[in-house]
Structure 1
Amino acid sequence: MNLNQTFSITFWLNKAKTNKHGLTPIWLRITINSKRAECSVQKFVHAKHWDMEHNRVRTTCSDATSINDYLDLVRSEVLRHYNILLTTQDVVTADDVKNSYKGIKETKKTFFQLFDQYLQRLVDRKEINDLSEGRYKRFQVLLNKCKGFVKYKFRKADVILDEVKMNFIVEFEHYMRRTDKMGHNTAMKYAKDLKQIMKYGVMLEYIPSNPFDLFQCTYKKAKREFLNQEELDALYRKEFVIKRLAEVRDCYLFSCYTGYAYSDAAALGPDDVTLGIDGEKWIIRNRKKTDTTENVPLLPIPQEIIARYKNHPYCKAHNKLLPMNSNQRYNAYLKEVAALCGIRKNLTTHTARHTFATTVLLVNDVPMETAMELLGHTDIRTTQIYGKIVQKKISNDMKKLKDRLAGNTTLRKNVGGNVFK
């Protein structure tokens, strides 16, 4: 119950609806916090008989007494409904009072009605290239997860928005981690999207405030796995008998030497390869995730891979540079590739981009600012994360080297035994 809201009841003549007999309908206006709701009271009067200052019919009208008595009755009824609503709702709107007075039972918006409206908004953004397909699919996945959760928690297919409280998102996060075996950071990303949907509900005035506002989306420091140069070389040299594995290896290597994420690499076509300012071949294309341009000069290995698939049936049919499978199949095949190459790391679409940032760029002394541009980062702090990873790896490698050399008694004797102390 909001004790600070303003409330008023007035009557006015709706002259736009004056009938052919010159009679104008009297309308009721309910105002709460400067927002209005209006409706006719089904009484008519000539405009000359209306007292605008007092919202009454002048005594010059023969029906003045009966109409004014009726207006008093309407006023008292509206006030009665307003007071009842104050005891049952946290927030009362002018439309709430009008509907209650008229006996109209308002249909409350549900959680999935709001979700569907938000998805339609995303479709509109996607059509004007303001949203990537991957981002849209992420919300579709979230929708399915929410349907499973609502059925589990509420034992029904949908829930009124008013019933969605803070415990909804708290329990939803636990539900995803328990049911889907989801990692902490992934669950938090979905929770963040869910908060955005409820914020949209506030914008549409379906709910007075976002019940998830106080939920903190925290993130744990993720381990960014990448391949070293020896592992990259092993991948490149490996000869595969199975065609699909050879194709997946090549697509993965392409990302390792260009930094393109799966969705961006899969979308590349021949027209994206152009001559740069140096006369060499470059790929110039917007990155879907951040809508930033990634201008990447093509190193020899990705050029070799592009040439290999120039006449591939899939590439020719779909006007693509690479024969890339669905993300799910791609990651599954990468596990086979890693096993056959003796690589014990978990190869995914993400590790290729991490490899480009670390092993290909920063380990080879490419400046941080250049790496930022090549990776399409909007904030150099994101790129600096890779720099710290490289420094830590160099430090660990040097410690191992120091230990090996310190254990070499012959070398220690030759240099006086003082170098590694």
Structure 2
Amino acid sequence: MKLSNESYFSLNFIARKRANKEGELPITLRITMNGQRAEIYVNRTVRPDDWNAAKGQSKGKTKKDLELNRYLDTVRTKICEIHNRLVLRDEPINPDVLKRAFLGKLEKPKMLCEAFREVNVKVREQYERGDICKATVLRWERCEKYLSEFLMMKENVSDIPMKNLTSGMVDDFEHFLRVRKMCANNAAVKYIRYLKNVVRVGIANRATASKF
């Protein structure tokens, strides 16, 4: 399975030699990449005589064996899906990262448009309290819509990790607003200010959360 940086990773199911009380072998998934490895216990066992080490699956024909093989295929597919998501997010990838992501222990990156939508919920709450006018709410929501369109046009994605936003992308977004969306100077300036506010709030929230 080829990675974007021209390295490879392999997934191999292994039946451990030490049997449990029922005489079955625990199965682990070994992830190998660039000389590094990590192993995941997949919470399944197999009878020693039924294990095909070369194929990494059971050679038994019982319903239990067939269900085991389907489950192992599901685990393999999930790992590959996790890898693909990390590649799209331009996240560093190694066996331990894939393991922690599979186990739900990997912190997800804060996504830019997702953070924007969260801020927009609070902006709308301000409007409902009568603190701001409707035109302000609509501008905030329109800005998130334009940002998604910009990312789709520039990166072919609808969202990116907040940490991937660069000053160059901000400049390109402003150009997009002025040329593609024909925004007047005041509107473009406000949209850029909204974007920077969202990033500032997202970074502040992340720093606060990390203290607990």
**Could you say which TM-score interval applies, normalised by the shorter chain?**
0.3 to 0.5
TM-score, L = length of structure 2: 0.47
Q: Which has the higher contact order (CA 8 A, sep 6+)?
A: 2
TM-score, L = length of structure 1: 0.24
